Each structure stands twice: as C-alpha cells, then as structure tokens.
Amino acid sequence: MASFLLIDPQEDPINPDNMCGRFSLVVPERFFSKVFVFKDLPEMHPDYNISPGVDIWGARNKQYEEQPEMVKLRWGLVPSWAKNPKIGYRMINARSETVAEKPAFRSAFKRRRCVIAADGFFEWKREGKERTPYFIHLKNKEPFGMAGLWEKWTSEEGDELQTCTILTTTPNSLMEPLHDRMPVILANQDLKPWLSGDTRESELLELTAPYPAKKMDAYSITSLVNSPRNNAPELLEKLEIPQQEELF
C-alpha cells in the first residue's frame, strides 16, 4: 500500500459533526480469533486512541470464498473516481439512511462492505464552551464490529490506496445526550450477513438500526484523549466526577 496520508493523525481536531470520529481497539486478537476465528493472526498492538487518517483493522469478504480476510484499511474513504486522496478526511463516516444513494458510497455499499474492529469509541458532551469526553463500550466489555465500506483508489502513478468509512445511524437512548449519531454496531450474528454478497439491500439496511442501549455503557474520561498524540491505557480509565454531574 502506498504511503498516502489523508491528514496528520497527530493534529486531528475534535470535530463534533464526526461520529464515530475516534475509537479504541485494545485487544485485537479477541475479536479476530473469537468472532471470525482467524487462526494465523499477524502481530497486532493495542491502540487506545484511533483517529482518522491511520490504518485500522477490519475484515472483508474474499471473492468466491466464505471465510473473510483480515485487512488494514486507511480510515477515510477515497472513492475510485476521486482526484485527490485528501477527500478521505471528509468521508470517515457514512450515514446509513442515505448510503445506498450517495455517489461516494453507493457502489461500495453494494459490493465492498467491511467490518471494523473496536472495543469502544469516544464522544464529547458539550456544556457551553466545555466538552467532556466519554468512553462508550459494550456492558460485557467484549470487542465488537462496526459496519463499514471500503474502496480502492489508484493514483496517476499507479500507486494503490485502500480506504474505509464507518457507517452511522440514529442514536439510542444512551447516546442521545451525547450526539445525534452513533456508529452502526453489528451483533455477532449479523457480521457474516453484512459481508455476504447474497444479502439483499433491504436486509442490509435493517442491520444498521441502533444497537440496544441496554447492552451498552458510558463513562467520562480524561481530556488527555482530546489529542491523538496521547495513546495509553490511562485514557480509558473512568474519571470520578460528582454524582450530580454524571450523565448516566
């Protein structure tokens, strides 16, 4: 893969319109060895603060084969017709309600779907000029797959770049106080249908419904997460704040 950079991940601003705009994947092996059961895993490292413009782990179907392949894709989708790969920073998310019609996403939605591995994601709650970061995860603390799309872009020199975007949907009751969008989290039994070329469009769209709030949890964390330069376990530690200020 050519070394294109969509943005500088060390200078990624917090954009409140992006959702999901940051996430974590601390134990990648737990997802790829238990959910998809890949036997020969490559060397993978924990990542506590994943930002747009970097390569992220995912799974996608190999043509004519039932078992998907594990891949690394640059986060920020670049359509094959794009003139400049920098367009990818504006396409880190795709709205599930319009993904089948939008020119940038409709082809990938039909033919190039993927699953992005995560174990939690971040959102910032606005209170005046203050923004408090929250870590959102499954109550069982297991890793999960987010619905994604991928594309292959080729430069005039013939260099290839493979990129992806994460689908979003309307928020569940847990997410409503934080943001009007949330990533499409797929239940384990829905991962293969999402990747399968045999799944009808109507069935795919049904899979993009908000994940049940009762199966999720959230808590406030340190503002150190605001900078992608910070990437350490303490970013995910619960921040103790007065009970009356808690969101949940």
Residue 114 designated active-site: no
Query: What's the first-to-final CA gap in the chain, in angstroms?
Result: 43
Q: Which two tokens stand for residue 196?
A: 């399968």
Q: In the 8-state DSSP scheme, what is residue 207?
A: T
At CA 232, angle to CA 230 and CA 236, rounded to 5?
A: 100
- Max CA separation in the chain (angstroms): 58
> Which residue is catalytic, options 11, 43, 123, 206?
123
Residue 164 designated active-site: no
User: How many angstroms separate the Cα of 211 from the Cα of each of 41, 70, 92, 149?
Assistant: 28, 24, 20, 18
> Which residue is catalytic, options 20, 114, 151, 164?
20
Listing DSSP states for 1-48 in one string gives -----SS-GGG----TT-SS--EEES-HHHHHHHTS--SSPPP---EE
Tell me which residues are annotated as active site: 20, 123
